[in-house]
Amino acid sequence: MTHSVEHPASQFDPTEHPHRRRNLLNGDWVLVSPHRTKRPWQGQVERPPQENLPSHDPSCYLCPGNERAGGVSNPNYPSTFIFTNDFAALLADSPSHNISQNHFFQAEAETGTCRVICFSPRHDLTLAQMTGPEIRQVVDVWAEQVVELGASDDISYVQLFENRGAMMGSSNPHPHGQVWANRRIPTEPAAEDREQRLYFERNNQPLLVDYLHAELKVGERIVLESDEWVVLVPYWAVWPFETLILPRQHVLHMPDLNDAQRDDLALILKQLLIRYDNLFETSFPYSMGWHGQPTDGGRYPHWQLHAHFYPPLLRSATVRKFMVGYELLATPQRDITPEQAAARLRQQSNIHYKSTPG
Ligand code: H2U
Ligand code: ZN
C-alpha cells in the first residue's frame, strides 16, 4: 500500500492548486490547473482577423442584393434577413425507412431545418458595433424563430447560435448567425434538461435561478449586471473567457421575454461584446448560442433560459486554447481560473477600442 500525505483543507488555494469543478448544467467535470499559466508558448499563432472591411462586399453571399452559392439573390434588406441554409444539415422530408436497428449499428433518421440569420445589411459591422435598437431587432428575430419553428409537431428543439470569426469556423465576416431546428432534442440541451429536471425534483426551484443567487452572493465571477440580466463566468467554465448570460427572472425560453428584458438584453450583449473585443484589441471570435426549453409540447418548469459564449482565445489575439490531447481523451482542462477571467473582463473599458473619441 502507498501512503499519500494529506494536506489540511486550510492549505487549499484555488488560485494555486489543481482541482476539478462540476458543470451543474451537463454533469461534466473540468480540471483547473492555475499553476500552469506561467508556461511558455512556442506553438501555433493565429492570424488576426482582417480589419477595415467594406460596408458592402460584392463577393459576399450575405450582403444585400448579392447572389448566394445556391443561385438565389438576397433582397435589398434594410435590417435583418433570414433564409433557409442552401446547404442545410437537416432536411424536413428526408426518408425515415431503411434505418438498421441492429445493436452494433444504431441510427435514427433525423429531420429538421437550418436557417441563416443576417444580423445587419452592413458587411463591416459586428454585434459589438451595432446600436442597441439594431441588436434588439436581432433579439426579436431569435424569439420569432423559436415560435415559428417550434410550432411544428416535428420540431422538439430550436437551437439559435452564432459562429464568429474564422478561428471558430465562420465562413464569412458578414454579421450572421444560424438556427437549426430538429425533431429530437440534441445532446447538449438534453443533458441540461436532465440536470435541471433532477434539481427541480429535489428542490422545487429552477437550478439556474438558485445558481444565479449563489453567484450574486459571492460576486467574484460576475462580469456585468443590468436591471434584467447578469453576465458571469460560470464556476465550471472550460474555455478561458467563457461566459453565461442569465435573466434575473425565471424565463423558460426566448419568446417569453418581455419588452424591457429584450431592450436590456440588447444593451448587455453589446456591453459584453465590447469588453470581449477590448480584451485583446481584436474582433473577438466565439461560438455563442441560446438554450431554452424544448418545443415538443412538454412541461418544462425546471428550465431557465440562458446563453453560452465559448471564445477560443487564451493569451492574445493570436494565441488560442486547443481542446486536444487530455481534453479529448480524458476531461477538459483550463489554466487561468474562472475568477481571474471574470476580473479581466470586468476591468475592460465599456468603450470599444475602435471607436474614435469625440
Ligand atoms: P457559418 O456560421 O459557419 O459562417 O455558416 C454560414 C452558413 O451559410 C453555412 O452553414 C450557409 C452555409 O451552409 N451558406 C448558404 O446557405 N448560402 C450560401 O450562399 C453560402 C453559405
Ligand atoms: Zn456581406
**Strand pairing category for 333-334 and 29-32:** parallel
Domain range for residue 203? 54-346
26 located within any domain: no
75 located within any domain: yes
Atom of ligand 1 nearest to the CA of 84: 16
252 located within any domain: yes
47 located within any domain: no
Ligand closest to Cα of 287 equals 1
Dist CA 51 CA 353 (whole Å)? 13
Q: What is the pTM of this model?
A: 0.94
Please state at what angle helix 132-150 crosses helix 259-279, rounded to 10 degrees: 120
Average pLDDT, the chain: 92
209 located within any domain: yes
Pick the catalytic residue from 3, 56, 123, 176. Answer: 176
The preferred substitution site among 60, 66, 115, 116 for testing ligand 1, maximizing ligand atoms within 8 Å of CB, is 116
φ, ψ at 285 (rounded to 5°): -80, 150
| pLDDT interval class at 1 (50, 70, 90) | very low
CB neighbour burial string for 152-170, b if at least 16 within 10 angstroms, e if fewer:
eeebbbbbbbbbbbbbbeb
Mean pLDDT across the stretch 294-298?
A: 97
313 located within any domain: yes
Cα–Cα nearest to 239, from 311, 325, 169, 303: 311
Dist CA 255 CA 261 (whole Å)? 11
Q: What is the CATH number of the domain that holds 261?
A: 3.30.428.10
Atom of ligand 1 nearest to the CA of 178: 2
In this structure, what C-alpha cell is assigned to residue 21?
469543478
Number of folded domains that form the chain: 1
Chain segment 97-148, per-residue pLDDT in tens:
667 778 888 888 899 999 999 999 999 999 999 999 999 999 999 999 999 9
pLDDT, position 101:
73
Ligand closest to Cα of 170 equals 1
222 located within any domain: yes
263 located within any domain: yes
User: With pLDDT > 90 as the criterion, what percentage of the chain qualifies?
Assistant: 78
Q: Which residues pair with 84 in a beta bridge?
A: 115
Q: Is-catalytic flag, 176?
A: yes
